[in-house]
Amino acid sequence: MLLTLRRSLHEQFIRWALRVRPPEPTPIHLTQRRVYVLPTRAGVLYAVSLLTMLIGAINYNLSLGYALVFLLGGLGITTILHTFRNLVGLTLNIGTPKPVFAGDVAHFPIILHNSDRRTRSLLRLHLPAQTSVSTDLPPHDHTRVMLPLPAPQRGWLVLPRITLETVWPLGLVRAWSYAAPGCECLIYPRPADAVPPAPTFGGMAGGRLASDTGDEDFAGLRRHQPSDPPHHVAWKAAARQDSHAPLQTKQFSGSAAQSLWFDWATLPPGIDIETRLSILTRWVLDAESDGLAWGLRLPGQEIAQGHGPDHVHACLKALALHEA
């Protein structure tokens, strides 16, 4: 009950502290009204120690005790100002995160600008329930910080609010602020480890990829498929690799058309949606690594045959957002 109430009050304070309704437009400037200051645990102990010393100085009428207490008290008050100024005035912007596969860690690029002549030291940024990232910011300069966030499932991963904080220089005071820029990272489906044979192409039977149809010239290696003939397996390469490394199949140049169609409807029946997407993702990656052209057919969507990084991204994006 108390924990739930505490979390509710904390979320209400964050909504109030942001000053705007998220997501907020970038760049975000941390004004004085957006930076908050409270003593740390060390700061509280520091204050208690000063109070104890002051009581002792009063009790024993120690002039040097008064001087020491006032000196350390002034140092603590000065620390509040320096900690506050270390954070206020920063400008935050957001970059474009690179897509990752489900189960990996997405990294959101945060760009900090320092228009002041002072160095900003020991700045820490973190997302809710994630590890903080520390950085220093030279005067009149900018720096890029990559904030990690686990990506458990495919689709769009929305960047949660960012907490910026600092305890520089003495760790007695914590100054912090919140930012909620609008940003999303595309999460591709996780490629399947074990996949059925790739579909036929160009009228050829047997489920082999295009480069396996001829035996005239050796054209390289690719990931082994269960339908590949045993005499095409690169056994010498397998002997030189670790026992857990995947098998490779030798490719030979042939005359068949180097194109494939990866069709949702051709997958074995009874497979759930996520497994189907994982299999199609694996086929797309293998076809690209083999230098083939391919097309993708999904329910209600068709992507024409092609190849290259842009085509890979278009196909993986369609798979990632399928019924998302």
End-to-end CA distance of the chain: 35
Average pLDDT for the chain: 84
Higher pLDDT, 17 or 312: 312
Q: Which residue has the tokens 């690169």?
A: 234
The average pLDDT across 218-239 equals 62
When pLDDT is averaged across residues 72-89 and rounded to a whole number, the result is: 95
Nearest to 198 by CA among 272, 255, 280: 280
Tell me if 189 sits within 8 A of 278, measured CB to CB. yes
Helix (H, G, I), strand (E, B) or coil at 3: helix
User: In this predicted structure, what is the pLDDT of residue 309?
Assistant: 92
Examine the pLDDT at 98 and tell me if it is beyond 90: yes
**What is the structure's pLDDT at 203?**
37
Task: Please say whether the dihedral angle defined by the alpha carbons of residues 175, 178, 181 and 184, taken in this order, is positive or negative.
Answer: positive
Q: Name the strand (E) or helix (H) holding 163.
A: strand 162-166
94-98, 168-172, 228-232: segment of lowest average pLDDT:
228-232
**What is the pLDDT at residue 231?**
57
The SS3 assignment for 47 reads helix
Residue 211: per-residue pLDDT = 42
pLDDT at 200 over 60: no
Residues 94, 166 contacting (CB under 8 angstroms): no
The arithmetic mean of pLDDT across residues 251-263, rounded, is 62
Say whether pTM exceeds 0.85: no
Residue 209 pLDDT exceeds 90: no
pLDDT above 70: percentage of residues in the chain: 81
CA dihedral for 215, 219, 220, 221, sign (positive or negative): negative
Q: What's the confidence (pLDDT) of residue 291?
A: 81
Region 142-161: mean pLDDT is 95
- Residue range 85-94: mean pLDDT, rounded: 95
Q: In whole angstroms, what is the distance from residue 27 CA to residue 10 CA?
A: 25
3-state class (DSSP) for residue 300: coil
**Given this model, what pLDDT does residue 260 score?**
81
Cα distances from 162 to residues 32, 92, 148, 296, 314, in angstroms, run 17, 10, 11, 38, 30
What's the topology of domain 13-188? Immunoglobulin-like (2.60.40)
In the predicted model, what is the mean pLDDT of residues 28-49?
A: 94
Residue 198: closest CA among 236, 171, 224: 224
CA contacts within 13 A on the Cβ side of 15:
7
Q: Does 101 score more than 70 pLDDT?
A: yes
* pLDDT at residue number 255: 40
Work out the average pLDDT over 81-99: 95
Q: Would you state the structure tokens that stand for residue 200, as one six-digit string?
A: 């036929």
Domain residue spans in the chain? 13-188, 210-320
Name the band, by pLDDT with cuts 50, 70 and 90, for residue 2.
confident
Each residue of 105-136: pLDDT tens digit?
Answer: 999 999 999 999 999 999 999 999 899 999 99
Beta bridge partners of 107: 148
pLDDT of 204 > 50? The answer is no
Segment 27-54 mean pLDDT: 94
